Amino acid sequence: MSDMKRRTASSDTDHSAKSNSKVLSSYYDSLLTLKEDLQLAQSMRSRSMVLMAGGIGAGLVISVIAVVHPAVALVWAAMPLVLACFAAKNYIRAGKVWRNIERRTEYYKRGIDRLTGAWQGRARTGEEFARKNHLYQTDLNVIGEGSLFELLCTVRSEFGAERLADYLLEPISLAESKSRQMAVGELRGNSSLRERMSSLVDFRSEDASFSTFRGWLSLPHLVCPGWLRPLLLLSSGCSLLLGIGLLSHIFLSGLTLAVLGGMVAFKITVAGRVDAWAEFEALQAIAGYAYEEPDAIFPELLDGAPIFETTQLGHPLLDGDSCVRNDIAFNPRSQFYLMTGSNMAGKSTILRTIGLDAVIAFAGGPIRASQAKLSSMAICSSLTLSDSLLDGRSKFLAEVTRLGETIKLARSGRAVLFLIDEILSGTSSRDRTRSVASIVKALADCGAVGAISTHDHSLCKTIYPSAGSGVLFHMESPVPDDPLLFDYLLKPGGGNQLQR
């Protein structure tokens, strides 16, 4: 059975690598084309600069000659100056083209980094959008360096970044997940649109924060004198024509907004457009991930009892070549997995794989799997909790608090997906056995599904037989003589350690 799973995992990895290589090849081809276009733009800019300097110089020389020799008409100096004006116009135009190509080039370079596994630490981490006491954002690496947010974030505006964080951190209805899934499916193949969006100026470079915009929306009514409005509209039109920033592509300049802030209808219109743009950018970010993962599938989203059934599920943050896949099935017949195994065997990675793919699925994206069925659930995790001197809490207290929040949420009637690593490892074996039995019963009675890992093999012997809806799994080396040769595959039963 294990040999078959290893062969299947290897086959799926090879197929995924071939599919990703097509996307990677197209990105390299686009970079080569952009490099040629960039050279043309730089050449045009250089020629324009030479003509501009030559025209200005010639105009000055002719002007001096006209002053010294009245026979030479001063009007002849205007001709090279007109040529210099045209050259200046071409210089500005070439500069815009050059900056546009540079932004598009950066888009493809970041795409290549993602496809080659070199993307960590090179983009936004989303830490400014972190929620206090969130139930999974830190445990599952949703926010922070090397996180899911960093992998997905290709947005150009602060609005889009905040909306993407909302997608990944806020619970939504099943209907909303389905709606997002349909939108991402339509946008998935439109890579040319994402390239054009990447050429927009980064909104953050203008030091314009979303909170400032919200503050403007809440300003009281202001009366703008009639004589001042034409001047403001003129300044706004100039900024729009010059293309000063992404802000000018969405609404008028900041000065106009401040003075016209009391116009309720205008505010509603602007707020609606910004909201639509934020939604569009977040969907495009997920669609970009979907495009770069051509073998990822959209899970079937179901109503009813909690269910999480996947075949060949893979971790979304790992490089495709090193991603080992496993089958997962949480349903009323197998509500939870009780997993045992030594350190480095892959238990924590399995838990994060389940959680991160659930986050992506609920946000409307595809996941690394060959088949998948999910119902709408709240995700609760306890993986990386630690002592906090600032809050005066030990790791054990933090874990107990998180488990209490999970049970409370399950008892409120919400469907819950729980992921617990090394459950109650900070207490004695006897106390742990009694406490875990109570926790498992409370979660199972509420219909919650999920997985629990432990090093305590005695816990498996006492808890598993009494948990009728639980399934026992282990992770260990397939070679008895080499206990550190892990294959990272889930195997049924307690393994060799439990048998001893």
Amino acid at 349: T
pLDDT of residue 253: 46
* Domain 300-499 CATH superfamily: P-loop containing nucleotide triphosphate hydrolases (3.40.50.300)
For residue 484, what are its two tokens? 């550190």
DSSP assignment, residue 334?
B
Averaged pLDDT score across all residues of the chain: 81
Residue type, 415: A
Indicate whether 402 pLDDT > 70: yes
Question: 354 or 485: whose pLDDT is higher?
Answer: 354
Examine the pLDDT at 73 and tell me if it is beyond 50.
Answer: yes
Length reported for the chain: 500
296: pLDDT strictly greater than 90: yes
Give the residue with greater pLDDT, 84 vs 355: 355
Q: Name the token pair of 344.
A: 């480095």
Tokens coding 103? 């932004």
Q: Which of 492, 432, 441 shows the shortest CA–CA distance to 469?
A: 441
Whether 357 has a pLDDT exceeding 90, the answer reads: yes
Domain ranges of the chain: 1-115, 181-292, 300-499
Question: Residue 84 pLDDT > 90, yes or no?
Answer: no
User: Which two three-digit tokens encode residue 243?
Assistant: 């293309």
What is the token pair recorded at 55?
A: 């025209």
pLDDT at 238: 62
Segments in 116-173 forming alpha helices (H): 148-152, 158-169
* Cβ atoms 330, 336 nearer than 8 A: yes
**The predicted structure's pLDDT at residue 250:** 47
Residue 93: what pLDDT?
87
**Which residues are 284's β-sheet partners?**
none
Residue 445 vs residue 431, higher pLDDT: 445
The per-residue pLDDT for 344 is 83
The vertex-111 CA angle with 108 and 112, nearest 5°, equals 90
Calpha distance 125→123 (Å, rounded): 6
240's CB contacts (< 8 A; 6+ apart) are 248, 252, 253
Cα–Cα distance between 64 and 76 in angstroms, integer? 11
- What gap in Å lies between CA 457 and CA 215, rounded to an integer? 56
Would the pLDDT of 380 be above 90? yes
- Residue 72, SS3? coil
Whether residue 474 contacts residue 493, with contact meaning beta carbons closer than 8 Å, is answered with: yes
Please tell me the predicted confidence (pLDDT) of residue 65: 75
Give the DSSP letter of residue 200: S
Say if residue 349's pLDDT is above 70: yes
Those residues with Cβ within 8 angstroms of residue 322's Cβ, 6 or more apart along the chain or in another chain? none
pLDDT tens per residue, range 438-479: 888 899 889 999 999 888 777 776 665 555 688 888 888 777
Give the pLDDT score at 389: 47
Q: Among 116-130, 134-148, 211-225, 330-344, name the one with the lowest average pLDDT.
A: 211-225
Distance in angstroms (rounded) separating the CA atoms of residues 289 and 365: 8
Distances in Å between the Cα of 130 and the Cα atoms of 150, 246, 315, 366 are 13, 25, 22, 24
Q: Can you say whether residue 304 is alpha, beta or left, with left for phi > 0 and alpha for psi between -120 and 50 degrees? A: left
Pairing of strands 326-330, 449-454: unpaired
The contacts of residue 218 (CB under 8 Å, 6+ apart) are: none
Is 192 buried (19+), middle (13-18) or exposed (0-12) by CB count in 10 A? Answer: exposed
Q: Give pLDDT, residue 280.
A: 95
8 Å CB contact between 428 and 396: no
* DSSP secondary structure letters along 301-323: EE-SS--EEEEEE--TTS-GGG-
Strand order of the sheet with strand 300-302? 300-302, 371-375, 308-313, 326-330
Report how far residue 422's alpha carbon sits from residue 293's, in angstroms, rounded to the nearest whole number.
32
d(CA 475, CA 491): 6
Q: How far apart are CA 344 and CA 453, in angstroms?
A: 13
Between CA 98 and CA 105 the distance in angstroms is: 10
| Residue 391 pLDDT | 58
Instruction: Say how far apart CA 16 and CA 420 lie, in whole Å.
Output: 30
Q: What would the mean pLDDT of 180-205 be, rounded to a whole number? A: 85
Q: What share of the chain is helix, strand, coil (3-state, %, to 5)?
A: 55, 10, 30
Sign of the alpha-carbon dihedral angle for 273, 275, 276, 278? positive
**According to the model, what pLDDT value does residue 98 have?**
87
Q: Which of 262, 265, 266 is nearest to 252 (CA)?
A: 266
Cβ–Cβ under 8 Å, residues 426 and 399: yes
pLDDT of residue 235: 63
- When mean pLDDT is compared across 39-48, 57-66, 378-387, 484-493, the lowest value belongs to 57-66
* Distance (Å, whole) CA 13 – CA 488: 14
Taking the CA atoms of residue 350, residue 354, residue 359 and residue 365 in that order, the dihedral angle to the nearest 10 degrees is 100
Residue 1 binned pLDDT confidence (cut-offs 50, 70, 90): very low
% of the chain surpassing 90 pLDDT: 40
Highest mean pLDDT range out of 65-79, 267-281, 376-390, 407-421?
A: 407-421
Confidence band (pLDDT; 50, 70, 90) for 99? Answer: confident
Instruction: Say yes or no to pLDDT of 19 above 70.
Output: no
pTM: 0.82
Confidence of residue 372 (pLDDT cuts 50, 70, 90): very high
Q: Residues 197-251: pLDDT tens digits?
A: 888 765 554 445 666 677 766 766 556 666 666 666 666 566 555 554 444 444 4
Separation CA 127–CA 462 (nearest Å): 41
Q: Which residue has the higher pLDDT, 145 or 483?
A: 145
- Is 415 within 8 Å of 306 (Cβ atoms)? yes
